[in-house]
Amino acid sequence: MEGVTTSGILHANSTSDPHTREEESIYDSAEEDSGDAGVFQLLKISNSNATNSRVWLDAGIHSREWIGPAVATYIANYILKNYSDLPGSLTNKDWYIVPVVNADGYEYTHTQDRMWRKNRARYQGQCFGVDLNRNFSLGWGERGSSEIPSHVLYRGPRPFSEPESVAIKHSELSAARRRGIKNDFLAARTKRVQRSDARLTAAAAAPPRAPRRA
């Protein structure tokens, strides 16, 4: 994998030349004061070609969805181990991969509550958490979110109130500035997230079904 550089957390064995790696902590978590600080880790895989397009892949924004981090880590590992054999449609990209966006919540699902969904933000003196999917600016406060901190769809007190969503925004905008291109990805991502959560919102709002007759 000559000329390919990586920065981040994945320490996979390569099939040819070793990579350079750098572990980055992008934000200080809400759990830092408790001694259980999580970190936002970003892995970049690139051959440093200036014409590359960018691909952003994050997982674990909802902490109870364990399959997400597993898939993201698998994809990153596969790209690293097989880079020299991959088609140009994959190697002409700068890959930005965040295996676990919601590190505090993810840890909490392993130690306290398996079905915890939000981050571990404290509001009104308690850890109610924020649904990070609903903390982006586009469509913030619209139908499908809640202003009640204890609600599973709580959107936070304002757009980008959470370190996780801020870290995503800053990382994407920083990458765009370095490349000198306009970044429309954050808005596109938010639209995709809203569509993907539509079923959950509809299910929560729907009245209970009448029991089926025998």
| Strand pairing report for 93-98 and 53-58 | parallel
| 8: CB partners within 8 A, 6+ apart | 21, 22, 23, 24, 41, 42, 43, 44, 97
- pLDDT digits 0-9 by tens, 42-90: 888 998 888 888 888 999 999 999 999 999 999 999 999 999 999 999 9
Task: Decide if 169 contacts 160 (C-beta within 8 A).
Answer: yes
123 found inside a domain:
yes
Residue written as token pair 């978590």: 29
206 found inside a domain:
no
- pLDDT digits 0-9 by tens, 35-50: 444 457 888 899 888 8
Q: What total of structural domains would you count in the chain?
A: 1
Does the reported pTM lie above 0.85? no
214 found inside a domain:
no
- Range of 30's domain? 5-199
Which CATH number is 185's domain given?
3.40.630.10
207 found inside a domain:
no
210 found inside a domain:
no
pLDDT at position 194 is 47
